[in-house]
Amino acid sequence: MTNSGRDLRVFAIANQKGGVGKTTTAINLGTALAAVGERVLVIDLDPQGNASTGLGVPEEARHVSTYDVLAGAAALEQAMTPAAVPGLYVAPSTRDLAGLEPEISAAPNRAYFLRDAINSLRASERDRPPHERLGYVLIDCPPSLSILTLNALAASDAALVPVQCEFFALEGITQLKETIDFVRSSLNPSLEIHGVVLTMHDSRTRLSDEVATEVRSFFGQKVYETVIPRNVSVAEAPSHGKPLLLYNHKSAGSRAYMELAAEMIDRERTAVAA
Ligand SMILES: Nc1ncnc2c1ncn2[C@@H]1O[C@H](COP(=O)(O)OP(=O)(O)OP(=O)(O)O)[C@@H](O)[C@H]1O
Ligand SMILES: [Mg+2]
């Protein structure tokens, strides 16, 4: 069963800590969801543009970007660029996005620009036949709690938090939880934490297991059972502009992201049934 026919689900992939696997998760979870028949849009909300590159959209092909969308110059539909996988799209980012904050700092609705853009997209999606509708939007957040991340959290049904299996994994997590609580109490009352995904787990080290245990005792049931292993193919794929599932579909990383997609869909179903 795909999500077509149900309303679009929007997830912010967020953690202000750098290099924890946000972009890798956005790319590969998006690909895995598309592989099981969903239509998925990855919104690149990081001026670094790593999700855009990893999904095969080079800088010269980013004609309409998320900067244009947030600056009110374009609709999200106009930024949607097909990725190499059928059913997967990316709204690419450019460096311009780094300059957005001062430009919008005086606007009273500055945290809602992305939500408004997604709402317009949602409205136009309802006119499409169910099998052509987008099922999921995944927002790749930058490593900061800036206005960009606030826009992502204000626009989302839920946050998905990657946590790297390394020392200091939980550093900054309290701040992230406080930010999510702040957004829930002010900008977006229905925001939840969908789940926490452990990334770059190295089964050869005891540290990885210790961190996993610590994260599970902190977040409890919110931690997905699926753990993403540290895997060389995961790191190599972006330099080929290909999602991992296309680069090496047999790798342990590919299998893990397929499992994560299945677990996510399962949680969605349980939530709907509850
Ligand atoms: N499972 C994995 N196995 C091996 N390498 C990985 C894995 N996941 C991510 N990496 C590598 O770790 C680095 C950081 O990952 P990624 O870019 O996804 O993190 P990020 O949280 O988006 O970073 P930033 O905060 O800079 O946006 C990248 O070089 C990526 O290729
Ligand atoms: Mg990133």
Give me the domains of the chain, ranges plus CATH numbers: 9-273 (3.40.50.300)
| Average pLDDT, integer, range 107-122 | 96
Both structure tokens of 72: 């009110």
Query: How far, in Å, from the CA of 156 to the mean position of ligand 2?
Result: 18
DSSP per position, 119-184? HHHHHHHTTS-GGGS--EEEEE--SS-SHHHHHHHHH-SEEEEEEESSTTTTTTHHHHHHHHHHHH
Q: Model pTM? A: 0.96
- DSSP reduced 3-state for 40: strand
pLDDT higher than threshold 70 for residue 3: no
DSSP per position, 4-16? TTSPPEEEEE--S
167 band by pLDDT with thresholds 50, 70 and 90:
confident
Query: How far, in Å, from the CA of 101 to the mean position of ligand 2?
Result: 18
- Other C-beta atoms closer than 10 Å to the C-beta of 212 total 17
For residues 173-194, one letter each, b for 16 or more C-beta atoms within 10 angstroms of the residue's C-beta and e for the rest, the string is beebeebbeebeeebbeebebb
Residue 1's pLDDT is 47
Atom of ligand 1 nearest to the CA of 162: 21
**What would the pLDDT profile of 74-114 be if each residue is shown by its tens digit?**
999 999 999 989 999 999 999 999 999 899 989 999 999 99
Here the contacts of 202-210 (C-beta below 8 Å, separation 24 or greater) are 202/165, 202/229, 202/230, 203/229, 207/165, 207/166, 207/167, 208/165, 208/166
Query: How much is the mean pLDDT over the chain?
Result: 93
**What would the pLDDT profile of 244-272 be if each residue is shown by its tens digit?**
999 999 999 999 999 999 999 998 888 76
Ligand 1: which of 16, 23, 251 to mutate, judged by most atoms within 8 Å of the beta carbon? 23
Ion ligand 2 neighbours, Cβ < 5 Å: 22-23, 50
Q: Ligand 1 pocket, 231 CB below 6 A? A: yes
**What would the pLDDT profile of 202-212 be if each residue is shown by its tens digit?**
999 999 999 99
Query: How far, in Å, from the CA of 43 to the mean position of ligand 2?
Result: 12
Query: How far, in Å, from the CA of 29 to the mean position of ligand 1?
Result: 13
